[in-house]
Structures are given as structure tokens and as C-alpha cells.
Amino acid sequence: MDDCIFCQIVDGEIPSRTVYEDDTVLAFLDANPLARGHTLVIPKAHHERVGEMPSDVAAAVFAAVNDLTPAVEAAVDAPGTTVAFNNGEAAGQEVPHAHCHIVPRFESDGGRPIHSLFGDRPDLSDAELDDVEAAIEAERD
Ligand code: 5GP
Ligand code: ZN
């Protein structure tokens, strides 16, 4: 994808601070970090969203996230991290090349958990939950 910023980083056309690289995955520091050590983990191939990566690529991305998260925490002495994908425009994804954020968290950083992104929780009946459970299962068949 010629006009994709992250593909240009993979191709070396835009510089980045690379913290990990293999044949499938690249991890680099976010240029506009939410916290010291904020790292992005991406598939090298252009896949826009979670669910669009072949399973071997998705597995490699998550393996890198699993490996890098404690390294990022140790590097900046963070007791925790928020690890997340903004997946799709509706969820705030600005760069349309799938990327996992590893954001170091500190006791007094003023940040909140992912739950705080949302307002009132929907009041779903048991029947509605049954329907959702069945619908997700059916979509995977
Ligand atoms: P999104 O909102 O799509 O989940 O997050 C995109 C992230 O990419 C943002 O945190 C932003 O700071 C980061 N970003 C955007 N352009 C560049 C860039 O050219 N280099 C690097 N290293 N990060 C970038
Ligand atoms: Zn791309």
C-alpha cells in the first residue's frame, strides 16, 4: 500500500525507532507517545484490521506483543500496560494498518481502564445475551 504510513515504515521510507523485527512483525516507538515507552506492534504486510490477518500472521503479532510487553514495562519501570487495538474508524483507528498499542501505565498517570471509554452499560436481558452468544457462534461456523 503506497500511501500507508506504516507500510512506508516497514519499507524504510519513513524512519522509526525499531525495538523488534522479524520476517512477519515490526515493533517501533509511537511518534506521538501517550507515555514513555509507548510501542506499536504491526504485521509487516498490509492488513487493515484485526480479523483480516492470516492466522499465522496474527499469531506472530500476538507472540511479539506477549514478548515485548514485559520488556517495555521493564525498560520504563512501569508496573502495568494498556495493550489494545483501535479496530476500525468507529473505534478511533486513524492509521488503517492493524497495530497493537503497548502503552506503559503508572499508578499516578491519570489514565483510566478501557471500561472508561464507554458511558452507561447496556442493560441486556438473559434472552438478549443468549441471542448474542448464538450469533457470534454462528458467524464463526
Ligand atoms: P491509531 O489511532 O490508528 O490507533 O494510532 C495510530 C498511532 O500511530 C498514533 O498513536 C500515532 O501517534 C502513531 N503514528 C502516526 N504516524 C506515525 C509515524 O509516522 N511514526 C510513528 N512511529 N508513529 C506514528
Ligand atoms: Zn500498510
pLDDT band at 123 (very low <50, low <70, confident <90, very high): very high
Q: What pLDDT, on a 0 to 100 scale, did the predictor assign at position 1?
A: 76
Q: What pLDDT, on a 0 to 100 scale, did the predictor assign at position 141?
A: 79
pLDDT band at 2 (very low <50, low <70, confident <90, very high): confident
Total domains present in the chain: 1
What CATH number is attached to the domain comprising 114?
Answer: 3.30.428.10
User: How many Å apart are CA 21 and CA 10, to the nearest integer?
Assistant: 10
Supply the pTM of this predicted model.
0.97
User: How many Å apart are CA 39 and CA 99, to the nearest integer?
Assistant: 10
Ligand 1 neighbourhood includes 48 CB (under 6 angstroms) = no
Note if 101 is an active site residue.
Answer: no
Average pLDDT of 119-128? Answer: 96
SS3 for 9?
Answer: helix
Residue 14 CA, ligand 1 centroid: distance in Å: 12
Average pLDDT of 87-105? Answer: 98
Ligand 1 neighbourhood includes 14 CB (under 6 angstroms) = yes
Q: Which three cell numbers stand for residue 67?
A: 514478548
The boundaries of the domain holding residue 18 are: 5-140
Ligand 1 neighbourhood includes 30 CB (under 6 angstroms) = yes
Type of residue numbered 32: N
Q: Whose C-alpha lies nearest to ligand 1, atom 21?
A: 31
Average pLDDT of 92-118? Answer: 96
Can you list the positions of beta strands (E) in 6-105? Answer: 18-21, 25-29, 39-43, 80-84, 100-105
Ligand 1 neighbourhood includes 31 CB (under 6 angstroms) = yes
Ligand 1 neighbourhood includes 28 CB (under 6 angstroms) = yes
At 24-60, the pLDDT tens digits run 999 999 999 999 999 999 999 999 999 999 999 999 9
Q: Among residues 38, 99, 101, 115, which one is catalytic?
A: 99
Q: Which ligand is nearest to the Cα of residue 100, counting in written order?
A: 1
Average pLDDT of 75-89? Answer: 98
pLDDT band at 120 (very low <50, low <70, confident <90, very high): very high
pLDDT band at 65 (very low <50, low <70, confident <90, very high): very high
Residue 44 CA, ligand 2 centroid: distance in Å: 8
Q: Which three cell numbers stand for residue 135?
A: 450469533
